[in-house]
Structure 1
Amino acid sequence: MTISNIPLSILDLAPIVTGGSPAHSFRNTLDLAQHAEKWGYHRYWVAEHHNMPGIASSATSVVIGYIAAGTEKIRVGSGGIMLPNHAPLVIAEQFGTLESMYPGRIDLGLGRAPGSDQVAARALRRGLGSNGEDFPEQLKELRHYFNPTEEGRGIMPRAVPGEGLDVPIWLLGSSGFSAQLAGHHGLPFAFASHFAPDFLVPALKLYRDSFRPSSVLDKPYAMAGINVIAADTDEAAAYLATSQEQAFLNLIRGRMGQLNPPVDTMDGLWTEQEKMMVRKQLSFTISGTKATVKEKLNAIIEETGVDELIVVSQIYDHNARLRSFELLAELMSEDRT
């Protein structure tokens, strides 16, 4: 398998750049989604994060509706909804509503992490009594709302909209827990290798080894998140990538902020130890020209055997971000002709 014969998708963290605003971020998100649809990307996902000044997609379901309303055919979904933050009935109703409005286009990717720090997690989960350990039970409850079983009828409420609708559920993860759970239930699985690369290959093996055919899938279907920053030269791409490196450096230091503009060099901004830590977390990051990106993406596909890639591009300048995804789309097109 190569980049020429697997789907490519986009995970947009809806970055709020230094000097920008959430309103500006949302306009850029919709613009990118519209271009992505034109360029042939398969799906467009946004992620739930809270208490993060640099990410605008905290009200994930609302953002999905905004994107779906401004596009026509690209699949739109969550990468993901952090289910322990919510009552499963509410998520079933929200995504049932989205699927009713935009039929055949909505994905529901689920994670069990808080998508935030502990302070925000406590505020979000107040009264829910959930710390993520009951994720399998929450998943079972959520799936019931879409497809009620006789066992639950008369005991559990009905999700309206939601009941009887086919909203594809994905499990997302950065460890083996969700990989094994996805395999056990015969669900598609997406691994967050764009920020947790070390466990990708073992998690995929665990997913495939534990997979049981289901009414959803008759064989495993796995997707991996990859950071890609493409430009017309390798030097330009490396320059753009320093915004992402600054963001990860801030995470390591426990500082939350907006996405900074690129810099000529990271020397002086990080220590050697911090440099090693950032580079380790970003080991599934590709920056360069189309030729560089093609070579490295194909190597990842060959190593992992993934069925789909979902691309993250944390780039400060919106036009440069558009250009990065356009170059990747050109690569897809060239290889498929």
Structure 2
Amino acid sequence: MPDHRAGVPLSVLDIAPVVQGSTAAQALRDTLDLARHAERLGYLRHWFSEHHSTLSLAASAPALLVAEAARATGTLRVGAGGVLLAHQSPLTVAEQFCTLAAFHPDRVDLGVSPALGTMNPDVQIALRGEPGPFAADAFAGRTEELLRLLDPADTGGTVTVTPRPDSRPPVWLVGRDETDGALAGRLGLPFVFGYHFSPHAVDGALKAYRNAFRPSARWPEPYVVLDVMVLLADSEERARYLAGPLEVAALQMSEGRLGPYLRPEAVATAGYTEQQRAHVRVQFESQVVGDPAAARRTLTALLERTGADELMAITIVTDHSARLRSYELLAEVAADLRTR
């Protein structure tokens, strides 16, 4: 089997997609099956996103998903990518992930994100328990507080994190613009850039990160992870067929009515013209959708352009066996790739 150590380090970002005609419970079972599959293939880590009040995704509680995935695997690193600090206090997050680290030493990662996890203001208020928007600059303060709480050398505060495991989870900053990159650099954290969300911002964000980077005890040098949408199949035609539900989902999202992801065979009757689908298909041109040969070319160019240290793949395929196959093909491709 391919191993991440033979080429570029390779990881998984999992949103637990819910498929039309199936259930959220099945989506969660599939995510554990994917974690076991990723471990067998030599993937480095398996992270879970945080999204709220959407019928298309089952990943709303990353700490719980981390716990289940850690139990289902033996060596795979598991983590959040990332916890939304807008909705939880730094102390709550620190104690959740220190508990996870106590059960699973040296296997738990804590990614944090300034995102809100939903565009619905009512849901945002329900999550925070108070009215009014979350101040954009509040994320930096909460991240700094989280780092202080997790610093074993910091004994000056009156708040103590319990439990206190021997190995505390490393903190990663998950972002998608120059502001996020600069903050990650200033705090001496590794930076996970959401290329699948903001591909055109990658150059500026990584430049801001590296320019601002201050070495820390755990991270003496900058470390960049690119979070890329990947959908591979044995042929280009098959990959494009499997990507059909993503095109429909993008159209539904633009109309504010995203539900469970369609199966590929249902795309033709979803009510959208080929012209409409072709219009949103442009959004995926910067991502990796195709056969292994095309993926190798695209990822080689992306690594050379960005100097990324690791690739993290998010693969949304409503056929679970095809999703597993995509990660298998990616592992084969990544074995031939190298970072700078």
Name the TM-score, length of structure 1 as normaliser: 0.91
Give yes or no for the alignment of 1:145 onto 2:149.
yes
Identify unmatched segments of 5+ residues in structure 1: none
Show the counterpart of 1:296: 298
Q: Is the 8 A contact 1:3 1:298 kept in 2?
A: no
Q: Which one of 314, 317, 320 corresponds to residue 315 of structure 1?
A: 317
Residue pairs, 1:1-337, within 5 angstroms = 5-117=7-119, 118-127=121-130, 130-147=134-151, 152-154=156-158, 157-162=159-164, 165-263=167-265, 269=272, 272=275, 275-276=278-279, 278-333=280-335
Provide closer, same or farther for how the CA distance between residues 164 and 149 of structure 1 changes in structure 2, counting only shifts above 3 A: same
**Alpha-carbon deviation of 1:298?**
0.8
Q: 1:10 to 1:201 in 2, by over 3 A?
A: same
Asked if the contact 2:300–2:337 (Cα under 8 Å) also holds between the matched residues in 1, the reply is no
Q: Report deviation, 1:266.
A: 9.8
Structure 1 pair 230–335 and aligned structure 2 pair: CA distance change class (3 A): same
Matches of 2:281 and 2:5, distance apart in 1: 24
Query: Which residue identity lines up with residue 35 of structure 1 in the other structure?
Result: H
Q: CA deviation at 1:294?
A: 1.1
Would the alpha carbon gap of residues 141 and 128 (structure 1) be closer, same or farther in structure 2, given more than 3 Å must change? farther
Inter-partner Cα distance in structure 2 for 1:143 and 1:204? 22
- What is the TM-score of this pair, normalised by structure 2? 0.91
8 Å contact 2:174–2:193 — kept in the other structure? yes
Q: Runs of 5+ in structure 2 lacking a partner? A: none
Residues 1:334 and 1:211: Cα distance change in structure 2 (over 3 Å): closer
Contact 2:247-2:277 at 8 Å conserved across structures: no
Contact 1:197 1:282 in 2 (8 A): no
Change (3 A) 1:93 1:40: same
Q: Distance in 1 between matches of 2:175 and 2:282?
A: 18
Q: 1:215 to 1:335 in 2, by over 3 A?
A: closer
Query: Which amino acid is the alignment partner of residue 125 of structure 1?
Result: R
Please give the alpha-carbon distance, in whole angstroms, between the structure 2 residues aligned to 1:310 and 1:328. 11
Q: Give the CA deviation at 1:226.
A: 1.0
Q: How many residues align?
A: 332
8 Å contact kept, 2:99–2:165: no
Contact map agreement 1:146 1:164 (CA 8 A) in 2 = no
**CA contact 2:248–2:270 (8 Å) conserved in 1:** no
CA contact (8 A) 1:92 1:162 kept: no
The aligned amino acid for 2:289 is S
Alpha carbons of structure 1 residues 189 and 134: separation in structure 2 relative to 1, 3 Å = same
How far apart are residue 256 of structure 1 and its match? 2.1
Q: 1:241 to 1:205 in 2, by over 3 A?
A: same
Q: Do the aligned partners of residues 300 and 333 (structure 1) sit closer, same or farther apart at CA in structure 2, a change above 3 Å counting?
A: closer
The structural deviation recorded for 1:253 is 2.1
8 Å contact from structure 1 (residues 9, 311) kept in 2: yes
Separation in 2 of the partners of 1:254 and 1:162? 44
- Give, in whole Å, the separation in 2 of the partners of 1:26 and 1:42: 20
Secondary structure class of the residue paired with 1:79: strand
Is the 1:171–1:182 contact (alpha carbons within 8 Å) kept by the matching residues of 2? yes
Greater shift in the superposed pair: 292-301 or 182-191: 292-301
Q: Closer, same or farther in 2 for the Cα pair 1:104/1:201, shift >3 Å?
A: same
